[in-house]
Amino acid sequence: MNLRDVLEQRISSAIQAAGGEDAPAMVAPSAKPQFGDYQANGCMAAAKRMETNPRQFAETVLDKLDISDIAQKVEIAGPGFINIFLRDEWLCGRLGDIAADEKLGVAAKAQPQTVVVDYSSPNLAKEMHVGHLRSTIIGDALARVLEFLGNKVIRQNHVGDWGTQFGMLLTHLDEVGQSGESLADLEDFYRDSKKRFDEDEDFADTARQAVVKLQAGDEHCRENWRRFLDISLAHCQEVYDLLGVQLTAADVRGESAYNDDLPRVVADLDTATLLAESQGARGVFLDEFKNKDDERAFIIVEKSGGGYLYATTDLAAIRYRTGELGATRILYVTDSRQGQHFAQVFLIAQKAGFASPEISLEHVPFGMMLGDDGKPFKTRTGGTVKLMDLLAQARAEAEELVRRKTPGLDDDHYAAVAKAVGIGALKYADLAQNRTSDYVFAWDKMLSLEGNTAPYMQYAYARIRSIFRKAAEAGEPAADSQEAGIVITAPAERNLAVKLLQFAETIDAVAATTMPNILCGYLFELAGAFMSFYEACPVLKSHGQTRSSRLALCDLTARVIQKALELLGIETLEQM
RNA sequence: GCGCCUGUAGCUCAGCUGGAUAGAGCAGCGGUCUUCUAAACCGCAGGUCAGAGGUUCGAGUCCUCUCAGGCGCGCCA
């Protein structure tokens, strides 16, 4: 049950009844406690359109508003705000509802969509590096959230497995032999190949021929190519597993998968009378965009030599996704620099009829990861940071910290905590940021374990679990949230209760905006509300109904935190 | 030249699509552990929202211009 939607509907219909047409109620959580739990801001705008006094109009709306079952008090404030103070008993009732609900009040969407989420998409010619991290983490979180809402989510790992660089890799593979050893470090292998390519003209020629042979379906080249991809994909899978990212081999559909379809894409653009020729290349002119010379942009789909480009592949992918996969919404989680490219591809796809107007094509952009010097994140020596190394460091840093903070536990425990905390901190630091802006990557900040970080949430969860362990040790029945009723007796309980009920509207907002940081912001408020409750309201030392109610609140909080972290792809721990 | 993004407290960032007196976390200062995990909690201080105009009941948010930084714009992805 989306609390905000409930209020929105009630008040909107009151506004309508008051003569305000279909003006939205514009319900939002109140800015300050004295303004109640929620405020409706729509009366001012509606009154303006009607050319009446906003306060008077708000009065009329209140007359039409039947909300006494939900709100204990509704008042008009300022120029025409409606402030809503929710009824404690009603809050408690709704808490009972979500406690009994596996999905914690998040209702399945009335009309589920088929959503394709295109994310991660590393270049298989190289090892995964920090440049792939944000797409992988953000995309995975969005896929989980959309799935949780009941949508059919199809993950697509659009890996780069078909570029010209494969000619050079295959040639080098032939030269150095096919031992697994030579491919142990893909980054080294790539660098060696590149070096040969740049320095040896014969090698370069052979490499270029290899590309042609590969694309022509030459048996030997195909075999080597397949072998190379297997190794590279296995490496990716290792990273995904370690990261707790849900991508599998089944989600991989690389550029090569669209190869046979590319001539048809060009032919269909021609049929749609979009295709033009310029300097031997074929492409689409777009009046909507301009090039460097201030002329209309020309998007090339077929090179003068006959090869295809990424715009072509992306167009083929759109058609596959809307056609074969039946997607009605497609998300592209890539860095913001590709914004213009996608705007152009989407436009062409729509003009050509590859995607009908109802289908939502969305670029989900994100900014760069910067070092603390404000420049793109690199190793100290200026090299690319491998994802594997980064993850190893995350665990090492976390383990050092855990051993220091909580001494005297066994090694297995430290290893488990280090993984959950280290990887969690890394992912959370990324997700908590508004994805559109660049963000400064700093170990000490994300592992400082203070503020809006994964460990703070994990700690809140662990504290709750500890309460239940204590209760069990004492042999007392620890009533859970599904059985015991919740009563509100203290302000801290009330704050926590309202936060718990806002889980559903938060999830809806994340799905609508594709902004995971909204969920992180919510978690921080929820965990904060719990911490305050924890300090102010003794649980095990209280008695009777208060005790069982507080235990129920604890249990419900734990479940919401766990679910929210799970949707972000972050583990929880029974003990830290 | 055209276009996109960014500019908010000393630092790192929010700001729910136009709402009330702009919020957090670090860092700083001051409190709270014989009491369910102090990796915590409570409080104080900190602001010309880059700048200038404009739109209106109301602007960090929308429009115009300026400044600063980043990125992109025909055969790489």
Minimum mean pLDDT range among A19-28, A388-397, A440-449, A472-481? A472-481
The label of the residue with tokens 């219909």 reads A13
Q: Which nucleotide is nearest to A36 (CA to C1')?
A: B20
Q: How far is the CA of A183 from the C1' of B25 (A)?
A: 44
Task: For residue A194, tell me if it sits in a domain.
Answer: yes
Among A36, A71, A86, give the residue marking a domain's end: A86
Task: For residue A552, tell me if it sits in a domain.
Answer: yes
Q: Which nucleotides of B are covered by protein (CB under 7 A)?
A: 1-7, 12-20, 23-27, 35-42, 56-58, 70-77
Q: How high is the pLDDT of residue A574?
A: 93
Closest among A191, A102, A116 to A147, alpha carbons compared:
A116
pLDDT digits (tens, 9 = 90+) for A178-207: 666 667 788 888 888 888 888 888 998 888
Say whether both A427 and A465 belong to one domain.
no
Task: Output the domain CATH number for residue A550.
Answer: 1.10.730.10
CA distance linking residue A7 with residue A22, whole number of Å: 15
Q: How far is the CA of A43 from the C1' of B49 (A)?
A: 27
Q: How far is the CA of A25 from the C1' of B17 (A)?
A: 15
Each as own residue / partner, the long-range contacts of residues A320-325 (CB below 8 Å, 24 or more positions apart, any chain) are A320/A253, A320/A258, A320/A261, A321/A116, A321/A154, A321/A156, A322/A354, A322/A355, A322/A356, A322/A359, A325/A114, A325/A116, A325/A154
Domain region containing A58 = 3-86
Q: Which nucleotide is nearest to A433 (CA to C1')?
A: B13
Closest among A499, A465, A469 to A91, alpha carbons compared:
A499
Say whether both A473 and A507 belong to one domain.
yes
Q: How far is the CA of A441 from the C1' of B53 (A)?
A: 38
Say whether both A485 and A560 belong to one domain.
yes
Domain count, chain A: 4
Say whether both A436 and A463 belong to one domain.
no
Say whether both A478 and A555 belong to one domain.
yes
Q: Which nucleotide is nearest to A437 (CA to C1')?
A: B6
Query: From the centroid of its chain, how far is CA A59?
Result: 42
Task: For residue A175, tell me if it sits in a domain.
Answer: yes
Q: Which nucleotide is nearest to A158 (CA to C1')?
A: B77
Task: For residue A145, tell me if it sits in a domain.
Answer: no
Q: How far is the CA of A188 from the C1' of B72 (A)?
A: 30
Q: Which residue is closest, via its CA, to the C1' of B36?
A: A467
What percent of chain A has a predicted confidence (pLDDT) above 90? 71
pLDDT digits (tens, 9 = 90+) for A302-322: 999 888 999 999 999 999 999
Q: Which residue is closest, via its CA, to the C1' of B20?
A: A78
Q: How far is the CA of A370 from the C1' of B71 (A)?
A: 14
Say whether both A28 and A81 belong to one domain.
yes
> What is residue A43's three-state secondary structure?
helix
> Helices marked H in A475-543 — which ranges?
491-501, 503-513, 517-536
Task: For residue A208, tell me if it sits in a domain.
Answer: yes
Q: How high is the pLDDT of residue A478?
A: 58
Say whether both A435 and A459 belong to one domain.
no
pLDDT-derived band of residue A360, with 50, 70 and 90 as boundaries? very high
Residue positions counted in chain A: 576
pLDDT digits (tens, 9 = 90+) for A244-279: 999 999 999 999 999 999 999 999 999 999 999 999
The 3-class SS string of A356-416 reads: CCCCEEEEEEECCEECCCCCECCCCCCCCCEHHHHHHHHHHHHHHHHHHHCCCCCHHHHHH
Q: How high is the pLDDT of residue A404?
A: 85
| pLDDT at A479 exceeding the cut of 60 | no
Among A198, A221, A251, give the residue marking a domain's end: A251
Q: Which nucleotide is nearest to A456 (CA to C1')?
A: B39
Q: Which nucleotide is nearest to A520 (CA to C1')?
A: B14
Number of H-type helices and E-type strands within chain A: 20, 13
Q: How far is the CA of A74 from the C1' of B73 (A)?
A: 54
Say whether both A433 and A462 belong to one domain.
no
Among A53, A86, A119, give the residue marking a domain's end: A86
Strand partners, A123: A160
| pLDDT at A483 exceeding the cut of 80 | no
Residue A420 exposure: Cα atoms within 13 Å on the Cβ side: 23
| pLDDT at A411 exceeding the cut of 70 | yes
Say whether both A519 and A474 belong to one domain.
yes
Q: How high is the pLDDT of residue A149?
A: 96
For A308, the token pair is 């295809």
Say whether both A542 and A458 belong to one domain.
yes
Q: Which nucleotide is nearest to A471 (CA to C1')?
A: B36
Q: Which residue is closest, via its CA, to the C1' of B19?
A: A41
Q: How high is the pLDDT of residue A347?
A: 95
Say whether both A458 and A561 belong to one domain.
yes
| pLDDT at A163 exceeding the cut of 90 | no
Report angle CA A26, A32, A35 to the nearest 5 degrees: 65
Task: For residue A540, tell me if it sits in a domain.
Answer: yes
Q: Which residue is closest, via its CA, to the C1' of B6?
A: A437
Q: How far is the CA of A29 from the C1' of B22 (A)?
A: 16
| pLDDT at A236 exceeding the cut of 90 | yes
pLDDT-derived band of residue A27, with 50, 70 and 90 as boundaries? very high
Task: For residue A310, tell me if it sits in a domain.
Answer: no
SS3 content of chain A, % helix, strand, coil (to 5): 55, 15, 30
For A390, the token pair is 């980064």
Say whether both A414 and A462 belong to one domain.
no
Task: For residue A117, tell me if it sits in a domain.
Answer: no
**Contact (CB, 8 A) for A435 and A515:** yes
Task: Output the domain CATH number for residue A21.
Answer: 3.30.1360.70
What percent of chain A has a predicted confidence (pLDDT) above 70? 97
Q: How far is the CA of A230 from the C1' of B6 (A)?
A: 40
